[in-house]
């Protein structure tokens, strides 16, 4: 009974709620208690005053508006002897602690001759309320030594201390004590346990406590809804809300506010639930304050319905910083920077002051608008005038804004000016490095990372991006070691960046180790592995990850996941899998996503199933030019030039303007089909579209005419080019090279050097290849030496292959063999293939056979190498071995594609 009474004593509605007296009346009744009663003629004692009672003191303490009233009540109670009353003394103690006078409360507590559990609870609560957790912990130890048995309120206060001290062991001990001695019949204590476990994200324990409650109240349900909302399963929070609604519980405003926050976390998929919750708020008659309205505004903006959020925003009677910042951020989220900036200007006009968050949002809007340097400088002046120039986050936003306007130098000047201003330089360094990475200034970014500043998670992610772009795998491994030593390996973003690093460099086994050790995974980490496995030639692993992502972690695939799965299925070539993913994309309405639809088109065209290609193309949204270009590219790649031209015509009818990629795809189709008529048509289209002056289109035209046999037209296009780049020169040199006119190719090379252009690695590859086919061994050796010695260009695999072919065709087979022995195996696969061809030309079958066996060991899954070995054995007269090799290749399922060629003349 004592425990129950004590808990009721701390209820705010115990006396004030029942008496329903105004606060002014209660605080002015105290002086009247000492006024003598009027003389009563019938009474023998005429000078007796009315003495205050215990309820009156308790009522005054509850109604106290300041600590001075509590002091007056305390002194008067002392004079009248009521201060020795345990209940009044505990009430005074609680009131002092509420007004922050913890030391005076502790002095009164120490002077109390008798203490019960309510007194200890009041002092413990006072310490916790004022943030003195260590003193509260020491007081609890003193309480245990005094043999006072804790009740449910004591344990609830202790759970709050454990949560703030991150003490899970003591918290679980309290849970065990409650189960043994209190049998968790108290809903208040059960709610405290749920809140405690939610704080440590142990939601399984929260569920068990919730299920064990005999009579869960609305606070219990709210605690569970809040726990799910803050966890990685906000959908469970909404499910719990609708269960609560079906059980006919009286929902309160807190429940619906938490559910709105869950909708905000989910995003667009939860907009239907968000609208229903808005309807509930209106139907249940809740008077929405500013906090509730802001929750609704955040929900609409995060779910992409910014127009509905704008309507709500316009009807709000009062607005605060959160309201303005959220509506501006909402328009930034849907990529409407002009509307966001207009709202920012309205905030400047209507509000007396604005927040730094709103300025950061305005800078994000300007960055989305593109090259708006003057606007950024105007905002810079405004920030200085308003006194926000020392804010570190606004400064970092200015760096990003200057970088977004392609003013990288301005961003660096601003960075140099503000760096000495604050101590939190890490944020500024991260912003500047991100600007350099975005614009491809890798050397400057590397130089900046060598400065002395504290690396945080964002810094490490930026450095890993640098490793992917420039620094290489060795530095990336060093960064990986740094993350392990400094306890960063559990960071989700760093782990995902490490996955991308190792996948980029083909070290898939290390990526899998990191992935399996990740404590938490998000959709991005799953997608990174799915796409990585597909692109590194392990499609079955990619599909297994696609399945596990849904079954084990419960993630629904997004557009990126589907693109990875489609790519993997495309590599596998199994018809049932293609049919499944095709149907899934259409049913889940991902067909309208341009990346998913283009991936499906590529998958079906790879399988030569153009009826399915047309089905996908007809159902997909064709607002973006990417889908049209993909169709043209696929038709071109398969030599279906008529269909490519027809698709191009449909594109223009639908009002889609062709771009540079469209022209390049059409030219690729002309090369694939060797169609001179088609090439002439495409040439005319390019002239009419105004793309003839483009360097890349001109170079592609030269290449197309050369490969279609019209070298004169190729030269005419080259000669009429206003601007000639290294790509243009390479194209025309290559054209003369493949036609066997090495002398003219060499003359063009000299002219290119005279024009002031430096040759690239591709230039030397074209020259060496031309010399190889024409048998000009000495000139080919000269070009290789020139490439290495004069221009310091490192030979790639293609150069080595062409050089080996050059030596072999020139009869220097032994020299080519010696050179091959010095080349590492992982760089010499194509060179060995060229060497075998040269040996067969020279009739050296022994060397050819030895080379073919080495090549088959390097790449045993290549059907062409198996066929090559069989042919060499047959030419050497070893028919039995040739037959066995061919049989083994047939058993595995190797089929060498038949070669074909086609040439069309100009009519």
Q: How confident is the model at residue 692 (pLDDT cuts 50, 70, 90)?
A: confident
Per-residue pLDDT of 312-356, as tens digits, reads: 888 888 888 888 888 888 888 888 888 888 888 888 888 877 788
Residue closest to 153 by CA, chosen among 188, 204, 185, 107: 188
* Distance between CA atoms of residues 365 and 344, nearest Å: 10
* Distance between CA atoms of residues 14 and 248, nearest Å: 28
Residues with Cβ within 8 Å of 738's Cβ and at least 6 positions away in sequence, in order, are 706, 707, 770, 773
- Output the pLDDT for position 794: 77
- 386 phi, psi to nearest 5 deg: -85, -5
Three-state DSSP class for residue 588: coil
Per-residue pLDDT of 774-789, as tens digits, reads: 778 888 888 888 888 8
Locate 501 and state its tokens.
Answer: 């690093």
Poorest-pLDDT segment among 371-385, 528-542, 721-735, 848-862: 848-862
Locate 569 and state its tokens.
Answer: 């299925």
* Distance between CA atoms of residues 263 and 283, nearest Å: 19
Cβ proximity of 263 and 270 under 8 Å: yes
- Output the pLDDT for position 763: 86
Question: Does the structure show a pLDDT above 60 at 10?
Answer: no
> What is the mean predicted confidence (pLDDT) over 553-557?
82
Residues with Cβ within 8 Å of 398's Cβ and at least 6 positions away in sequence, in order, are 363, 376, 379, 380, 383, 414
Residues with Cβ within 8 Å of 879's Cβ and at least 6 positions away in sequence, in order, are 873
Degrees to nearest 5, angle at CA 798 with 747 and 771: 30
Three-state DSSP class for residue 410: helix
Poorest-pLDDT segment among 97-106, 181-190, 305-314, 713-722: 181-190
Task: List the alpha helices (DSSP H) in 469-572.
Answer: 473-485, 492-504, 508-517, 523-535, 539-551, 559-572
- 304 phi, psi to nearest 5 deg: 90, 0
Per-residue pLDDT of 302-314, as tens digits, reads: 888 888 888 888 8
Poorest-pLDDT segment among 215-219, 229-233, 460-464, 613-617: 229-233
Residue closest to 543 by CA, chosen among 513, 518, 576, 495: 576
Q: How confident is the model at residue 35 (pLDDT cuts 50, 70, 90)?
A: very low
CA 141 from chain centre, in angstroms, equals: 47
Three-state DSSP class for residue 842: helix
* Distance between CA atoms of residues 308 and 279, nearest Å: 13
DSSP string, 245-270: HHTT----HHHHHHHHHHHHHH-GGG
Q: How confident is the model at residue 26 (pLDDT cuts 50, 70, 90)?
A: very low
- Output the pLDDT for position 68: 65
Burial class (CB in 10 A: 0-12, 13-18, 19+), 72: middle
Locate 537 and state its tokens.
Answer: 């030639």
> What is the mean predicted confidence (pLDDT) over 565-585?
87
- Residue keyed to tokens 């002051």: 353
Beta-carbon count within 10 A of 196 CB: 25
Cβ proximity of 171 and 163 under 8 Å: yes
Cβ proximity of 56 and 50 under 8 Å: no
* Distance between CA atoms of residues 787 and 795, nearest Å: 8
Name 49's bridge partners. Answer: 36
Q: What is the pTM of this model?
A: 0.62
Three-state DSSP class for residue 628: helix
Q: How confident is the model at residue 8 (pLDDT cuts 50, 70, 90)?
A: very low
Give the Å distances, CA to CA, from 858 to 831, 854, 866.
12, 6, 12
DSSP string, 893-907: T--PPPP--------
Give Rg (Cα) of the chain: 39
- Output the pLDDT for position 18: 31
Locate 721 and state its tokens.
Answer: 């080019």
Q: How confident is the model at residue 359 (pLDDT cuts 50, 70, 90)?
A: confident
DSSP 674: T
Higher pLDDT, residue 16 or 797: 797
CA 726 from chain centre, in angstroms, equals: 38
Poorest-pLDDT segment among 248-252, 668-672, 741-745, 756-760: 248-252
DSSP string, 148-188: PPP-HHHHHHHHHHHHHHT-HHHHHHHHHHIIIIITT--HH
Three-state DSSP class for residue 138: helix
Give the Å distances, CA to CA, from 74 to 71, 80, 676.
5, 10, 105
Three-state DSSP class for residue 36: strand
Locate 267 and state its tokens.
Answer: 């995003």
Poorest-pLDDT segment among 106-115, 381-390, 666-675, 878-887: 878-887
DSSP 786: I
Cβ proximity of 827 and 800 under 8 Å: yes
Q: Calculate the dihedral angle through the C-alpha atoms of 279, 280, 286, 288, rounding to the nearest 10 degrees.
A: -50
Beta-carbon count within 10 A of 22 CB: 10
Beta-carbon count within 10 A of 270 CB: 23
Poorest-pLDDT segment among 162-171, 274-283, 381-390: 162-171
* Distance between CA atoms of residues 311 and 297, nearest Å: 9
Residue closest to 619 by CA, chosen among 640, 635, 598: 598
Burial class (CB in 10 A: 0-12, 13-18, 19+), 863: middle
Percentage of the chain beyond pLDDT 70 is 75
Q: How confident is the model at residue 403 (pLDDT cuts 50, 70, 90)?
A: confident
Question: Does the structure show a pLDDT above 70 at 61?
Answer: no
Q: How confident is the model at residue 79 (pLDDT cuts 50, 70, 90)?
A: low
Q: How confident is the model at residue 33 (pLDDT cuts 50, 70, 90)?
A: very low
Poorest-pLDDT segment among 51-65, 227-241, 634-648: 51-65
For residue 737, the number of C-alpha atoms closer than 13 Å in the C-beta half-sphere is 26
* Distance between CA atoms of residues 189 and 374, nearest Å: 60
* Distance between CA atoms of residues 293 and 309, nearest Å: 10
Per-residue pLDDT of 164-210, as tens digits, reads: 666 667 667 777 777 766 665 677 777 777 777 777 667 777 777 77
Question: Does the structure show a pLDDT above 60 at 709?
Answer: yes
Residue closest to 591 by CA, chosen among 628, 570, 621: 621
DSSP string, 384-403: HHHT-TT-HHHHHHHHHHHH
Sign of CA dihedral 695, 696, 701, 707: positive
* Distance between CA atoms of residues 535 and 505, nearest Å: 12
Locate 171 and state its tokens.
Answer: 């918290």
Per-residue pLDDT of 482-517, as tens digits, reads: 888 888 878 888 888 899 999 888 888 889 899 988
Percentage of the chain beyond pLDDT 90 is 1
Name 36's bridge partners. Answer: 49
Cβ proximity of 744 and 714 under 8 Å: no
Higher pLDDT, residue 787 or 621: 787
- Output the pLDDT for position 813: 66
Residue closest to 699 by CA, chosen among 659, 674, 668, 740: 668
Three-state DSSP class for residue 49: strand
Question: Does the structure show a pLDDT above 70 at 282?
Answer: yes
Higher pLDDT, residue 137 or 827: 137
Per-residue pLDDT of 404-436, as tens digits, reads: 766 777 778 778 777 655 445 777 787 888 888
Per-chain mean pLDDT for the chain: 76
Q: How confident is the model at residue 821 (pLDDT cuts 50, 70, 90)?
A: low
Per-residue pLDDT of 844-887, as tens digits, reads: 666 666 666 666 566 555 555 556 666 666 666 666 656 666 66
* Distance between CA atoms of residues 318 and 730, nearest Å: 67
Higher pLDDT, residue 448 or 753: 753
Per-residue pLDDT of 584-610, as tens digits, reads: 888 888 888 888 888 888 888 888 888
Residues with Cβ within 8 Å of 138's Cβ and at least 6 positions away in sequence, in order, are none
- Output the pLDDT for position 126: 72
- Output the pLDDT for position 894: 46
Cβ proximity of 887 and 873 under 8 Å: no
Beta-carbon count within 10 A of 195 CB: 22
Question: Does the structure show a pLDDT above 80 at 357?
Answer: yes
């Amino acid at each position: 009974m004592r425990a129950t009474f004590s808990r009721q004593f701390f209820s705010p509605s115990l006396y004030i709620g029942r008496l329903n007296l105004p606060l002014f009346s209660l605080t002015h009744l105290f002086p009247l208690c000492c006024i003598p009663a009027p003389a009563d003629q019938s009474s023998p004692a005429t000078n007796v005053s009315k003495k205050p009672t215990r309820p009156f003191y308790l009522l005054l303490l509850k109604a106290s508006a300041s600590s001075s009233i509590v002091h007056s009540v305390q002194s008067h109670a002392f004079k009248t002897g009521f201060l020795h009353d345990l209940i009044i003394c505990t009430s005074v103690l609680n009131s002092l602690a509420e007004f922050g006078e913890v030391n005076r409360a502790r002095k009164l507590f120490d002077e109390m001759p008798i203490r019960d559990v309510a007194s200890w609870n009041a002092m413990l609560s006072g310490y916790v309320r004022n943030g003195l957790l260590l003193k509260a912990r020491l007081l609890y130890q003193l309480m245990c030594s005094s043999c006072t048995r804790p009740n449910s309120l004591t344990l609830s206060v202790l759970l709050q201390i454990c949560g703030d001290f991150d003490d899970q062991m003591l918290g679980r001990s309290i849970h065990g004590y409650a189960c043994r001695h209190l049998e968790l019949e108290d809903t208040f204590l059960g709610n405290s346990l749920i809140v405690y476990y939610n704080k440590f994200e142990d939601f399984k324990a929260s569920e068990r406590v919730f299920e064990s409650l005999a009579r869960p109240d609305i606070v219990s349900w709210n605690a569970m809804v809040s726990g799910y909302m803050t966890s990685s399963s906000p959908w469970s929070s909404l499910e719990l809300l609708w269960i609560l609604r079906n059980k006919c519980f009286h929902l309160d405003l807190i429940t619906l506010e938490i559910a709105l926050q869950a909708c905000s976390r989910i995003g667009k998929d939860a907009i239907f639930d968000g609208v229903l919750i808005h309807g509930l708020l209106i139907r249940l008659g809740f008077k929405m304050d500013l906090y509730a309205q802001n929750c609704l505004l955040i929900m609409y903006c995060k779910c992409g319905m910014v127009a509905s959020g704008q309507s709500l925003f316009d009807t709000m009677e009062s607005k605060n910083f959160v309201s303005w910042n959220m509506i501006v951020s909402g328009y930034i989220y849907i990529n409407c920077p002009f509307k966001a900036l207009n709202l920012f200007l309205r905030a400047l006009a209507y509000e007396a002051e604005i927040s730094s968050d709103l300025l950061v949002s305005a800078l994000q809007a300007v960055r989305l608008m593109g090259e708006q340097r003057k606007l950024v400088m105007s905002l810079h002046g405004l920030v200085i005038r308003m006194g926000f120039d020392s804010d570190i986050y606004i400064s970092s936003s200015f760096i990003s804004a200057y970088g977004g306007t392609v003013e990288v130098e301005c961003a660096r000047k601003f960075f140099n000016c503000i760096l000495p201003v604050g101590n939190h330089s890490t944020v500024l360094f991260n912003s500047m490095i991100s600007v350099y990475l975005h614009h491809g200034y890798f050397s400057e970014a590397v130089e900046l990372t060598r400065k002395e500043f504290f690396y945080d998670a964002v810094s490490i992610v930026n450095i890993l991006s640098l490793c992917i772009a420039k620094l290489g795998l060795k530095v990336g491994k060093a960064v990986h070691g740094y993350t392990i030593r400094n306890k960063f390996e559990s960071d989700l973003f760093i782990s995902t960046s490490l996955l991308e690093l190792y996948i980029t460099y083909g070290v898939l086994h290390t990526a899998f180790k990191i992935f399996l050790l990740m404590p938490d995974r998000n959709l991005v980490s799953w997608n990174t592995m799915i796409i990585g496995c597909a692109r590194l030639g392990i499609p079955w692993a990619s599909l297994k990850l696609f399945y596990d992502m849904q079954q084990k972690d419960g993630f629904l695939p997004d557009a990126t996941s589907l693109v990875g799965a489609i790519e993997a299925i495309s590599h596998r070539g199994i018809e049932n899998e293609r049919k499944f993913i095709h149907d899934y994309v259409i049913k889940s309405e991902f067909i309208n996503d341009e990346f998913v639809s283009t991936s499906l088109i590529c998958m079906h065209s790879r399988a030569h199933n153009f009826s399915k290609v047309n089905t996908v193309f007809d159902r997909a949204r064709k607002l973006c030019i990417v889908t049209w270009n993909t169709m043209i590219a696929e038709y071109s790649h398969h030599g279906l030039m008529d269909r490519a031209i027809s698709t191009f015509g449909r594109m223009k009818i639908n009002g889609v303007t062709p771009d540079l990629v469209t022209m390049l795809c059409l030219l690729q189709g002309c090369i694939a089909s060797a169609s001179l008529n088609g090439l002439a048509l495409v040439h005319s289209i390019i002239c009419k579209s105004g793309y003839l002056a483009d360097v890349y289109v001109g170079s592609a035209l030269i290449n197309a005419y050369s490969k279609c046999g019209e070298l004169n037209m190729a030269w005419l296009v080259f000669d009429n080019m206003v601007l000639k780049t290294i790509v243009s020169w390479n194209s025309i040199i290559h054209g003369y090279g493949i036609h066997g006119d090495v002398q003219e190719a060499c003359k063009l090379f000299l002219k290119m050097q005279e024009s002031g252009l430096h040759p690239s690695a591709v230039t030397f590859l074209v020259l060496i290849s031309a010399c190889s086919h024409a048998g000009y061994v000495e000139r080919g050796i000269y070009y290789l030496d020139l490439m290495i010695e004069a221009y310091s260009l490192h030979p790639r695999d293609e150069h080595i292959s062409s050089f080996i072919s050059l030596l072999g065709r020139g009869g220097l087979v032994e020299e080519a063999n010696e050179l091959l022995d010095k080349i590492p195996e992982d760089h010499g696969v194509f060179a060995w293939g060229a060497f075998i061809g040269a040996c067969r030309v020279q009739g050296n079958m022994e060397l050819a056979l030895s080379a073919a066996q080495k090549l088959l060991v390097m790449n045993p899954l290549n059907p062409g190498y198996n066929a090559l070995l069989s042919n060499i054995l047959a030419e050497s007269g070893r028919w039995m071995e040739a037959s066995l090799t061919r049989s083994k290749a047939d058993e595995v399922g190797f089929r060498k594609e038949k070669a074909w060629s086609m040439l069309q003349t100009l009519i």
